[in-house]
């Protein structure tokens, strides 16, 4: 049969069409992969599992451990990891581009300094200060003025840390001059010094003192002398799971998370 015969031409055209389809199938699959990636960017569309990293202030360590379990139970496709540190350390991590999805600080000042890196923040809780002493309050500390006693070993957080700034604020307002034996990087380090007997007193958040019953006593600071700590939460613009991150921030203001925060001693936003 001649190559130019009509039947021969039809066969070759059919073969060419089949080859073209074979080439287009991988391209379509590749486009499908891009769509899947876009779904993951949006927070696990189509049933994908999502890993969320939450950077949280040290004073949220215990309560967020509870919140983490509750959220994962309610959202079985989400794997939540909470990384706790001083707010100033968290801010440094964000500015350095550390991979994370949500940020929760212990003050609005730190969060406000990260406007270029975060979404709009929402205050999820508030807190107050207490004076932490070893169990039984052996030095009979009654209030802020007692911390000026040079015979006491007092530990404070560094002024760059939210709890350190709050402590300085309340002491300055009362005209109390304290010579701390050390300035710590976060509130948990302050409390640890008291628990270990390395300090006679330290200023911590009320919720931190509540995590160590039988180890520390909390001397209340009157509201008129106290400072209110605000905890804003925000998504990070660098998150690869922006929809899921936004959902978690919204959940923190919801009834279940708010009950967890109240049970831990945090005040309403």
Residue matched to tokens 């707010």? 87
Percent of the chain with pLDDT over 90: 82
Is residue 12 over pLDDT 90?
no
The H-assigned helical ranges of the chain are 6-41, 61-74, 87-95, 108-112, 162-173, 187-195, 206-209, 242-252, 255-263
Asked whether this chain's domains 48-125+230-263 and 127-228 adopt the same fold, the reply is: yes
At 65 the pLDDT is 97
Q: Tell me the per-residue pLDDT of 114-133, one tens digit each, with 9 for 90 and over.
A: 999 999 999 999 999 999 99
Residue matched to tokens 């998504």? 235
Q: Tell me the per-residue pLDDT of 191-206, one tens digit each, with 9 for 90 and over.
A: 999 999 999 999 999 9
The strand pair at 50-57 and 122-134 is best described as unpaired
Pick the CATH number of 48-125+230-263 from 3.40.50.740, 3.20.20.70, 2.60.40.1730, 3.40.190.10: 3.40.190.10
Is residue 24 over pLDDT 50?
no
Two structure tokens written together for 96 = 């350095």
At 104 the pLDDT is 98
Q: In whole angstroms, what is the distance from residue 79 CA to residue 219 CA? A: 38
Is residue 155 over pLDDT 70?
yes
The strand pair at 78-85 and 154-157 is best described as unpaired
CA-CA-CA-CA torsion sign (230, 141, 159, 181):
negative
At 151 the pLDDT is 95
pTM of the model: 0.81
Instruction: For the chain, give every domain's residue range.
Output: 7-39, 48-125+230-263, 127-228
> Largest Cα–Cα distance in the chain?
113
CATH class of the domain defined by 127-228: alpha beta
Residue (of 114, 104, 133) closest to 252 by Cα position: 104
Is residue 45 over pLDDT 50?
no
């Amino acid at each position: 049969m001649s190559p130019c015969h009509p039947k021969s031409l039809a066969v070759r055209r059919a073969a060419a069409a089949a080859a073209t389809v074979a080439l287009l199938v991988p391209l379509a699959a590749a486009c499908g992969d891009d769509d899947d990636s876009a779904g993951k960017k949006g927070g696990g569309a189509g049933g994908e599992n999502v890993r969320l990293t939450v950077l949280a202030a040290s004073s949220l360590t215990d309560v967020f451990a509870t919140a983490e379990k509750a959220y994962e139970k309610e959202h079985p496709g989400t794997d939540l990891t909470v990384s706790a540190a001083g707010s100033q350390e968290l801010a440094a991590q964000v500015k350095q581009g550390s991979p994370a999805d949500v940020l929760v600080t212990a003050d609005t000042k730190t969060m406000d300094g990260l406007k270029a890196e975060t979404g709009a923040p929402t205050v999820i809780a508030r807190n107050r200060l207490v004076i932490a002493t070893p169990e039984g309050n052996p030095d009979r500390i009654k209030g802020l003025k007692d911390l000026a006693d040079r015979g006491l070993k007092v530990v404070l957080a560094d002024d760059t840390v939210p709890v350190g700034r709050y402590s300085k604020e309340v002491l300055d307002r009362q005209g109390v001059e304290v010579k701390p034996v050390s300035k710590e990087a976060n509130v948990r380090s302050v409390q640890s010094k008291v628990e270990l007997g390395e300090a006679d007193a330290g200023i911590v958040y009320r919720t931190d003192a509540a995590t160590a019953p039988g180890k520390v006593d909390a001397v209340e600071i009157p509201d008129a002398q106290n400072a209110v700590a605000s905890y804003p939460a925000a998504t990070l613009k660098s998150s690869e799971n922006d929809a899921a991150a936004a959902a978690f921030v919204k959940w923190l203001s919801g009834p279940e998370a708010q009950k967890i925060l109240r049970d831990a001693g945090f005040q309403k936003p």
